[in-house]
């Protein structure tokens, strides 16, 4: 069933909205949240000659967001344990984003402490360990660039995770 949009849309957005594999994100992530995080990071490391790079948290966030499992029910009719989780391997992340593996854990910490990741779980299947990342779609963002939780409280990051 094709949705009908009443307002005019720019460029080829209508085609995207009616197509498959389309998701939207809160625009204030790019306008407010990531600039605040990057500013806080740069202020923390202002006196360090070679400060750690943080710009890749943006691509990592959207990469994890694009791999969220949206299937609530498996083909056999049972509930999916992975519903809402993103679970690319470190190898997959490093290969696809060109990140050094040692940078992933600190960036995950920054995303988590800022409320962009709701949870990170270690999941064991037999002898293999997987990470499941529960990515927030960030429906509520304050004017000063903080994620707002379901109770209306700003999520104040632990800057030691930077």
138 falls within a domain = yes
Number of domains into which the chain is organized? 1
34 falls within a domain = yes
CB of 67 closer than 8 Å to CB of 21:
no
129 falls within a domain = yes
150 falls within a domain = yes
CB of 142 closer than 8 Å to CB of 149:
no
Q: Give tens-digit pLDDT for 36-93.
A: 999 999 999 888 777 778 989 999 999 999 999 877 877 887 877 888 899 999 999 9
Residue 91's domain comprises 23-70+78-161
Q: Give tens-digit pLDDT for 3-37.
A: 555 777 667 777 777 777 777 789 999 999 999 99
14 falls within a domain = no
CATH number, residue 52: 1.10.10
94 falls within a domain = yes
Q: Give tens-digit pLDDT for 82-124.
A: 888 999 999 999 999 999 999 999 999 999 999 999 999 999 9
CB of 117 closer than 8 Å to CB of 107:
no
Q: H or E stretch including 87?
A: none
């Amino acid at each position: 069933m094709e949705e009908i949009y009443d307002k005019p849309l720019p460029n080829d957005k209508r085609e995207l909205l009616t197509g498959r594999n389309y998701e939207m994100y809160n625009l204030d992530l790019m306008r407010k949240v990531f600039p605040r995080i990057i500013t806080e990071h740069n202020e923390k490391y202002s006196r360090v000659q070679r400060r750690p790079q943080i710009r890749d948290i943006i691509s990592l966030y959207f990469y994890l967001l694009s791999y969220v499992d949206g299937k609530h029910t498996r083909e056999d009719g049972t509930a999916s344990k992975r519903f809402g989780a993103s679970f690319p391997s470190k190898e997959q992340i490093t290969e696809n984003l060109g990140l050094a593996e040692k940078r992933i854990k600190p960036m995950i910490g920054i995303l988590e402490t800022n409320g962009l990741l709701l949870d990170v779980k270690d999941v064991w299947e037999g002898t293999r360990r997987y990470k499941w990342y529960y990515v927030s779609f960030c429906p509520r963002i304050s004017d000063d660039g903080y994620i707002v939780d379901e109770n209306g409280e700003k999520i104040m990051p632990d800057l030691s995770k930077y």
